[in-house]
Chains A and B, each alone.
Chain A
Amino acid sequence: MSIGVMLVYGLLGLIVVITALGMLTSRNAVYSALFLVLNFATVAVLYMTLGAPFIALAQVSVYAGAIMVLFLFVIMLLGAEHITQRSTGRGHRVLSVLVAVALLAEAVIYILFRGAGVEMAALPSLPPDFASPAAIGQLLFSQFLLPFEITAVILLSAVIGAIYLTRRERQAAARTAAAEQPAEKPVEEPAEKTPIY
């Protein structure tokens, strides 16, 4: 491995770790979310360097894009941007440190004794355009055609669920009433806090 590649990986790894730590330690949930965006984007670059450009772009558009937008909306909806009390008890923290140490030890052991233990089954040799979007497109429409179409149905049920579970019936009723009689103003719900935006 050349020095340049090592440097790039080191830099990317450093950014990933720092942003992950930033996300965990931020006292403000919005900053946490923004750290997470940076984290996702850097991980996407890592995917790119591993030769999976499609996954990388999907990561950016779905995770760093849409899902983070959703996170931010939820944070702003709940007004949960500030953590008021210190997080959970000591037992929890001790346990998480222990688990983290165990995982780190696992990684170190793996790197030290790599090749000494069990070996994965050999992967079939990869064609040069492996994991390129065009190759994925070809696979998606030949071997994985059925999974592709089933995914559409799964997404559809997610649409129905999202709309059914979040839409407020009363508001919808008021809306139809307003549409039918444009002169009348839609009924405001007094018990509700009216957000400015």
Chain B
Amino acid sequence: MLEQWMYIGIFMVVAMMLPSIAIIIAGLLSPRRPNPIKNSTYECGIETVGPGWPQFRVQYYIFGLVFLIFDVETVFLFPWAVAYNRLGLFAAVEAALFIAILAGGLIYAWKKGALRWL
């Protein structure tokens, strides 16, 4: 079991190494002659306004919260999906019930306008 994961791990390490090596090599080989204009932030040719890290809207936060909750829901449904062919009709009904309860939450979020961007 562990060995199978090992292969995935090796793949991931290699996949991460290739682009990082490319970036490092580019950094080592490229000439370095900075001046103020080069160092300024590039924003499609227009002068930048204000800091690069502005205050976010609170709505991102609400979206994040709702996303988190439905993310947890998928975590619970994942084992059901994997074991689906072993479980039978009863489990399908129960999973549908689980989804239905949380679909109620989706209706709530929708009707309360939490999903709308303003």
A and B touch in the complex (CB under 8 A): yes
A positions within 8 Å CB-CB of B: 30, 45, 48-49, 51, 53-54, 57-58, 61-62, 65-67, 69-70, 73-74, 76-79, 81, 133-138, 140-141, 145, 148-149, 151-153, 155-156, 158-160, 162-163, 166-168, 171-172, 175-176, 186, 193, 195-197
Query: Can you list 28 A-B contacts (CB < 8 A)?
Result: A45-B9, A61-B74, A66-B68, A69-B68, A73-B60, A76-B53, A76-B60, A77-B55, A133-B79, A134-B83, A136-B79, A137-B79, A137-B80, A137-B83, A140-B79, A140-B80, A141-B95, A152-B97, A159-B102, A159-B108, A163-B62, A166-B58, A167-B62, A175-B118, A186-B118, A195-B54, A196-B54, A197-B57
B positions within 8 Å CB-CB of A: 1-2, 5, 9, 50, 53-58, 60-62, 64-69, 71-76, 78-84, 86-87, 90-91, 94-95, 97-98, 101-102, 104-105, 108-109, 112-114, 116, 118
* Contact A163–B108 (Cβ < 8 Å): yes
Rounded to whole Å, the gap between the CB of A97 and the closest CB of chain B is 33
- Give Cα A135 to B80, complex, Å: 10
Q: How many pairs, one residue from A and one from B, have CB atoms within 8 Å of each other in the complex?
A: 158
